[in-house]
Structure 1
Amino acid sequence: MWDNCFESVEKSERNVGSGSILAHCMGLGKSLQVVTIAHTVLTNRLSLVDRVLVVCPVSTIFNWINEFKLWLPTSSVVKVYEMINVEDRIVITCSLVDPGPELVFCDEGHTLKNEKSASNILTRRRITLTGTPIQNNLLEYHAVVQFVKPLLLGTAAHFTDFFAKPINNGQSADSTEYDVRIMKQRSHVLYKMLEGIVQRFDSSFLAPFLPPKYEYVLYLKLSDLQRKLYEQYLSERSNFDCNHNRPGLLLISMSWNGSAHIPRLFLISTKAGGVGINLVAANRVILFDTSWNPSQDVPSIFCVYRLGQTKPCFVYRFIAQGTIEEKIYDRQVTKQSLSCRVIDEHKIKRHFSGGGLE
């Protein structure tokens, strides 16, 4: 973070700096690293930093405040301000960002889905935090990189022609040998181009320090009545616009630390449960709804399976056979494979044909 944003004390005096992406898996302590560097630059006058802004989802504001209170000494000269109004949102205008903070942290940075997201923040020293840099496609990854290093990957059109299309063409089980070879080459080139600004640690770094985690995908056969109701629903909704955000459901089973040790259930939407929330009191996660976006499901698991967890964790994903949920899950696997190839440079099997996902 220091190397990308400041380089050195001498250069920080004359350069506006740039940014980096902290792409650590959920639960590896990204917030602690933010507190550390924020405290370092704010207490060292040579860094010329007087203000640091943390932009985060509403549901994680109190988490961030607690993290700063936890790690900063009580005598610290660093002051933490909670910027939130009665409507649970804050609008950042040019009056705030010009001259604005000298350093900006963007939590859940994968939500920067278009290049216009960066236009309202003039600060060039930007650090994006995300455990899932790629959500649905490579263009969203381009937007995240564009936020911290403008034009490093060229325009969106250039990126699409040189990286996105060739990589996508070589992902399918029925891709030609030529397409597969080009896909591997372009994936490697993209990885090396971003190696200096993207610091990546995946979930394998957690495994030695945590109890085991078991994941199960359960395909459930519909009863005759359920099948009839499902088909009736489809016929009635054939003209309905399905391009909307449906709240998924995440059910978490936990045992509270009270004297009675009574098992309890915690219901939360998948989207809300996947944005940096710490729920290590639970050790069982049941995903009732499959999301088109894997980055909404995966963080929901890691809000339970993270440092501080002391019990074995069990994850159950329910999928109704013969329904759209099967297709959604297949798409999710494909998107996760794309992320593993580009972000982690893993060798992933090509499971689905191009037409099989249509």
Structure 2
Amino acid sequence: MLAPKNSPPTELGPQERVRGPQPGLQPPDPKRLKVFVDLTPPASENGGRSPQPDIHQGESPPPREEIIVKAGKEQIVIDLVEARESPDGDENIRPNSREDNATVDHETAGHLVTKNLDRVAGSGQSDMIVNPGHSAEYRAIPFPPHISGKLFDSQIEGIQFLWREVVQKGEGALLAHTMGMGKTLQVITLLYLISEAGKSKDEGILGQVPDHLRGSLHVLIVAPPGLLPNWREEFMKWVPKSDGQRLLEFYMPSQLKDPKPRIRMFKDWEASGGVLLLGYQMLRDCALESSIRCNQPRKAFKSSDRRTTKTSAKARDAESGNAPENDDFDSTDLEEEDVTLTLEEEEAIKLAAELKRIVLEAPSIVVADEAHAMKNEKSGISEALGQIMTDSRIALTGSPLANNLNEYYCLTKWVAGDMLGPKGKFKTFFSSPIEAGLYEESSPDQRRIALRRLAVLRHVMSPKMNRCGLSRIKHRLPEKTELLITVELTEIQRKIYSLFAKNVVQENIISSSSGGALPENLEIKSFFDHVRCLRTLLNHPHILLEVFKDRAEKNAKKGDVEINWATHLSKSTIHEIREEDLLGDAHLKTLLNLYKHARTFENFDSPIHSNRMTCLFQILQVAEDIREKILVFSSSIPTLDYIAAQLKTKSIGYYRIDGSTKPIDRQKFIAEFDSKGGENVMLISTRAGGVGLNITAASRVVIFDFDFSPQDEEQAIARAYRFGQTKPVFVYRFKVGGTFEDVIHNRSLFKISLAARVVDHSHPVRLAKQGRAREYFNPPGQCEKGDLLEFKQNYTDPILLGLIQSGLVLKIDLQDTYLDRTDQELTKSEQKRFQLDLEIYNNNYEDREPTSGESDIGDSGEDSQEGLDGGADVLNITQIPQ
């Protein structure tokens, strides 16, 4: 939480830079605030950098020690105070200080490993060995000396957990440490230790390693393409060389564009061992024999069961269950990876089969980074990962549960097989009763049953999942203030929103054959696309206009009538298009209405037609003035396009990362953003840039819009709020009140609560409400107004105060509103029931009669809305999303 104001107003100094006040007007008494900033003078105009098309540099403000920012009718004087590193907390660390850029003497480290095995044998330092509790016939195995001094306690525990599950038990494991906790280093340390122990001549060491992990270790690491360079760099940093050879060589086929060298790299890895780094798409295509394309492909290569060789962002997104129907919303929001090769037909078929065999049979151990990518068990990615033959599987994710317990089940099944039993039984025994008890309206019986089943699930999962949440490291991080800011629709947004929502419902009533009446169970077809349209409208009506115009210019067809929109629109003769030609198509009717408003309202593309957008640019301007670096996340590519265009007109420099940004450019942009002379704004697509990036130079984060998965936003925030951050972090989330975003936010509360209870063993307040599904396409309602006086009086953040004084903010909620409840401990009778439930679970869910208060849980907790999170693009408007 921000510190209360305690500095009295002062007179203006000679170094002030004034923005806003008109000549001749006497400004009100200013309020003096402190803001941590970097006072180092910016670099030269070009900063010594080569111009990049994705980078736009604005004019840097002159060096100053205080400025005035106009905020509504008031002015705020801001003292610029140089940021200092905050002292470390109490999280235990090995004697050597942790350094992010530590230099490893690889040659020395390599020769010390074997000696270190002898040195630690027999010692009682269980926290310094990877195999505490080993049997008497085996020897203690120490952590590598060049790494042990750099590990936190949580990382040591994670490595010991992985060794126990993967090496000692020969099974899989789920490492669910929160974002920024060093999961990559933990895995590299484990692989390094396995590789060394698996080659040892000492039976007391070698005997602990399963046969398939001995000798030349074949490691397959699968990750989003943008993270592969980071894996390579971390291996180079931490894995030493011995006699000029790296102890674990790594291979990255996507670096090679020529077919034959790329295929040769796969074969070299199979023959020699080491680490093979693949993106998820490349793994999927290899496993499904579509990684090689013929020069003249025959029909089999085009069929849907063989899958296309070049997968669009939409198709990949569809596998996660959150895809829009049309590409024009998010066409570059996921990373592209060059995975296909082109060869002659006969050779292509042969080599595709060979690559499939290599990736499925050769790995002795497989690591899935950002493993929540396999949350949909029917996706090609999940299918490919499930076919890999080794049982030594490691799943890495900071978000093992994002939407529902089915995702948790899929992830657990990949690392632990049938440990949780059949899916149907899991849903009946765990999912339904747990989810039924998490609502504000849940009955006392439902809540207690949910608590008991949660206890069983945690007990069952405890051997397979090692969790380290933010609460474990919070004392080592600076303060984080997270705000949900509610604004209302503008006049033009309200008109278009009402029309669009009405058209969607009417269109589906007509197609439902209900005779024009609203049926009891109305299905909304193309649900995701309609929601994306509304979201884009809330961002700014001009963005929706451009999206629809792009569709129209592609000669969208309506029945047997084809309208050449490009011709009509270029002549501005909208009246020539008859509205009856557009009946039944909500998009085209809305497009017509958009153009009418575009001709009526002056400066239709101005940010003023969206309160959300107006607030964003106010934030960016203040951040630019006080030289605070800021990340802006949006799940809409056209929205990022609009923001970028507006920044150019305002001469504010920025960087941009989305799915089309090459990994090498990502690293370059981040390095420049981190530098003192770099630009202060980074635009990032939420899904493509919300994982794997370390951008601690930023202390401000804007979640401009949101989608169905709140964990995506949590991942985005973790780009700045992580180890290495030294400044207080401020997060600004936006919501347009009285719209479908109220419904999605309500759904997010449920998902956050579910994840907190299942994964983090916490007990947040039940805030989610049932019965909100029908409100997705309701006409816009009234916004609930909140009391802003507390924030205005007690908080010193100039950005927050500026937003309040603008008059555009209706309500502000602190996001850290989840408090532990006092009713979360099991009673004595419930502890007995817990034991009974555990016995029932361990005995393969033997049938029993439900007890009083439990008979209804099979239905009340059912997630009947799989369309919201599981891939179906149809919503039953009368069903209740759980």
Please point out which of 362, 373, 376 is paired with 1:100.
362
Name the counterpart of 1:7.
168
How many angstroms apart in 2 are the aligned matches of 1:218 and 1:114?
A: 32
Name the counterpart of 1:248.
635
AA at the equivalent of 1:20: A
Contact in 1 for aligned 2:360/2:387 (Cα 8 Å): no
AA at the equivalent of 2:482: E
Contact in 2 for aligned 1:146/1:152 (Cα 8 Å): yes
Contact in 2 for aligned 1:42/1:51 (Cα 8 Å): no
**Mapped pair 1:206 → 2:488:** no
SS at match of 2:394: strand
Report how far residue 98 of structure 1 moved.
Answer: 4.5
Name the counterpart of 1:77.
247
AA at the equivalent of 1:50: L
Name the counterpart of 1:23.
176
AA at the equivalent of 2:416: K
Report how far residue 336 of structure 1 moved.
Answer: 0.7
Report how far residue 353 of structure 1 moved.
Answer: 3.0
Contact in 2 for aligned 1:97/1:123 (Cα 8 Å): no
Change in Cα spacing, 1:256 to 1:268, as seen in structure 2 (3 Å) is closer
How many angstroms apart in 1 are the aligned matches of 2:405 and 2:527?
A: 23
Q: Deviations over 1:232-263 (max 9, x none)?
A: 3334555561325967158999994545x454
**Mapped pair 1:176 → 2:443:** yes
Alignment of 1:123-134 (within 5 A): 123-134=390-401
Name the counterpart of 1:315.
731
How many angstroms apart in 2 are the aligned matches of 1:35 and 1:3?
A: 16
Structure 1 gap segments, 5+ residues each: 9-16
More displaced stretch, 91-100 vs 232-241: 232-241
Q: Percent identity?
A: 35
Contact in 2 for aligned 1:283/1:312 (Cα 8 Å): yes
Contact in 2 for aligned 1:63/1:277 (Cα 8 Å): no
SS at match of 2:445: helix
SS at match of 1:272: helix
Q: Deviations over 1:1-23 (max 9, x none)?
A: 11111217xxxxxxxx2101000
Please point out which of 192, 217, 222 is paired with 1:50.
217
Report how far residue 83 of structure 1 moved.
Answer: 2.8
Name the counterpart of 1:11.
none
Name the counterpart of 1:109.
371
Change in Cα spacing, 1:319 to 1:38, as seen in structure 2 (3 Å) is same
Change in Cα spacing, 1:31 to 1:352, as seen in structure 2 (3 Å) is same
Report how far residue 186 of structure 1 moved.
Answer: 0.3
Contact in 2 for aligned 1:112/1:143 (Cα 8 Å): yes
**Mapped pair 1:135 → 2:420:** no
Report how far residue 224 of structure 1 moved.
Answer: 1.8
AA at the equivalent of 1:342: V
Q: Deviations over 1:59-86 (max 9, x none)?
A: 2111211221222235532111113265
**Mapped pair 1:267 → 2:699:** no
Name the counterpart of 2:746.
330
How many angstroms apart in 2 are the aligned matches of 1:304 and 1:112?
A: 25
Give the count of matched residue pairs. 349
AA at the equivalent of 1:54: I
Please point out which of 202, 206, 226 is paired with 1:59.
226
Alignment of 1:209-248 (within 5 A): 209-238=476-505, 239=507, 241-243=526-528, 248=635
Q: Deviations over 1:66-109 (max 9, x none)?
A: 22122223553211111326597413334124431111111111
How many angstroms apart in 1 are the aligned matches of 2:257 and 2:503?
A: 40
**Mapped pair 1:352 → 2:614:** no
Name the counterpart of 1:33.
186
AA at the equivalent of 1:40: L
How many angstroms apart in 2 are the aligned matches of 1:235 and 1:68?
A: 56
More displaced stretch, 227-236 vs 329-338: 227-236
Contact in 1 for aligned 2:746/2:769 (Cα 8 Å): no
TM-score normalised to the size of structure 2? 0.38
TM-score normalised to the size of structure 1? 0.90
Name the counterpart of 2:715.
299
Alignment of 1:141-160 (within 5 A): 141-160=408-427
Report how far residue 295 of structure 1 moved.
Answer: 1.6
How many angstroms apart in 1 are the aligned matches of 2:452 and 2:217?
A: 44
How many angstroms apart in 2 are the aligned matches of 1:326 and 1:73?
A: 53
AA at the equivalent of 1:42: S
More displaced stretch, 197-206 vs 89-98: 89-98
How many angstroms apart in 2 are the aligned matches of 1:356 and 1:350?
A: 15
How many angstroms apart in 2 are the aligned matches of 1:113 and 1:67?
A: 27
Contact in 2 for aligned 1:283/1:304 (Cα 8 Å): yes
Change in Cα spacing, 1:92 to 1:36, as seen in structure 2 (3 Å) is farther
AA at the equivalent of 1:219: T
SS at match of 2:435: helix
Change in Cα spacing, 1:284 to 1:77, as seen in structure 2 (3 Å) is same
Report how far residue 225 of structure 1 moved.
Answer: 2.2
Report how far residue 230 of structure 1 moved.
Answer: 2.3
Contact in 2 for aligned 1:97/1:120 (Cα 8 Å): no
How many angstroms apart in 2 are the aligned matches of 1:73 and 1:276?
A: 24
How many angstroms apart in 1 are the aligned matches of 2:675 and 2:464?
A: 45
Q: Deviations over 1:42-66 (max 9, x none)?
A: 2332331511111101121112112
How many angstroms apart in 2 are the aligned matches of 1:196 and 1:41?
A: 20
AA at the equivalent of 1:248: S
SS at match of 2:693: coil
Q: Deviations over 1:96-142 (max 9, x none)?
A: 24431111111111121244624321110001001011011001100
Q: Deviations over 1:180-225 (max 9, x none)?
A: 1110000010001011110001112232222211111000112222
SS at match of 1:185: helix
SS at match of 2:528: coil
Contact in 1 for aligned 2:361/2:388 (Cα 8 Å): no
How many angstroms apart in 1 are the aligned matches of 2:415 and 2:699?
A: 36
How many angstroms apart in 2 are the aligned matches of 1:257 and 1:301?
A: 16
How many angstroms apart in 1 are the aligned matches of 2:418 and 2:437?
A: 25
C-alpha RMSD of the superposition: 2.5
Structure 2 gap segments, 5+ residues each: 1-161, 200-205, 259-278, 288-355, 508-524, 533-633, 644-653, 656-669, 774-879
How many angstroms apart in 1 are the aligned matches of 2:722 and 2:416?
A: 30
Name the counterpart of 1:284.
700
